[in-house]
Amino acid sequence: MGAVTSSMAAKFAFFPPNPPSYGVTVDGATGKLRMTEVAEKENVDVLKVKTKRGTEIVAVYVKNPAAKLTLLYSHGNAADLGQMYDLFSELSIHLQVNLMGYDYSGYGQSTGKPSEQNTYADIEAAYECLKETYGVKEEDVILYGQSVGSGPTLDLGSRLSRLRAVVLHSPILSGLRVMYPVKRTYWFDIYKNIDKIPLVQCPVLVIHGTEDDVVDCSHGKQLWELCKEKYEPLWVKGGNHCDLELYPEYIKHLKKFISAIGKSGHLRNGSVPSMDQRDNAQNSSDCRPRQSTDQREKSRSSTDHREKPRPERARNSIDRFGEMMRSAVLCNIDCFKPVGTKGKHFIYMFHTTRPYTSSSPYPFALHVGRRRPAGTLIQRWCNQSSVLMSRIYQVSSSACPEVFKIIVDMFSNVLDDADI
């Protein structure tokens, strides 16, 4: 199970810049670490920090003499410290905070490989460094997570009870939900933020762009709705996934938030927005959630009643199904491997050797072909003697029949178009 989950994370979630945008050297005169390819600044410390999983991550600590609070920033995907360096400096100045940013294992000049569990160890190591090296107290820490960084941010935030605040910037509900709005959390999902956000005890600010084409705005909205201690969210009208910092309201709203939590600690007794404000945020027409899978199920017509075949549309749907399989990277994770490629029929097969009975396995197959009704759902083994196969994916013994169910659920709208 763990191998499947970690492999899914490595293939789907992480895209470290290659080559890294910076290097790390030792200053011959002072013995201190410095970053190359970026402007050296007196108020920035460069550190290497060991994690409990054995990797060594690179971190930067930006000091502001007027600061009372410290921001621990977990950056997004496809970025490293060299690319975030200038933003960190600007945030430290405008928000009047100290700021620590770090690279995940396998990012920048950090050692190791990216994985979900490594990012959890990475943020924990950065947090411990703040406490031990700089004497920062838990109640003076603000966790800031951008995109994929919302995963380690909420993992740590759900385990610390005295944090000052949490900021979620274009956050994800979970890794799987970025691909499709599934109705429940599955064991092979990663970054299960939807399950962790209710455990966060401090005020939470959510920032999301209404035109985000990578992580839909509904992710941020649903996380905000699940917060125990809400702060007025910021839905950046017209904002995409990687440009929110360019909007004036971004820094303005952040400054307002930092000021509020700086005055009163946890936002209680008046600092939390009123119910009217919450209702307005929930009803914002600029941030519409995707249609739920429950709504999709209600709108789908019966498999027994089809007005007429739609061969061209079905063919397009088959192609889309294949594209979604590849984009979901399901054929790249340990659990799924191709076992046959020939013929003109399209067959996607999910088979488990874990039996329903002690005598035989319980196989599942999804078959989309020309001769049989498009998208027939069968519960028996399809072998080469009866069907020509072009693509087959076989689930290993570590999986279970639940895997098949989630695949069908994920692609229900595509399968509907294919006349299933």
pLDDT-derived band of residue 110, with 50, 70 and 90 as boundaries?
very high
Position 176 scores a pLDDT of 83
Mean pLDDT of 149-160: 98
- In angstroms, the CA 380 to CA 364 distance is 6
Answer for the pair 59, 47: CB distance below 8 angstroms, yes or no.
yes
Residue 97 has pLDDT above 70, yes or no: yes
Write out the catalytic residue numbers. 147, 212, 241
pLDDT classification of 406: cutoffs 50, 70, 90: low
pLDDT in tens, 347-371: 344 433 333 333 333 333 444 333 3
Question: Tokens at residue 173, please?
Answer: 């509900």
Q: CA 106 to CA 114: how far, in whole Å?
A: 5
Domains of the chain: 2-282 (3.40.50.1820), 293-417 (no CATH)
3-state secondary structure of 113: coil
Q: What is the mean pLDDT of residues 288-300?
A: 35
pTM above 0.85, yes or no: no
Please, what is the average pLDDT of the chain? Answer: 73
**CA distance linking residue 74 with residue 105, whole number of Å:** 12
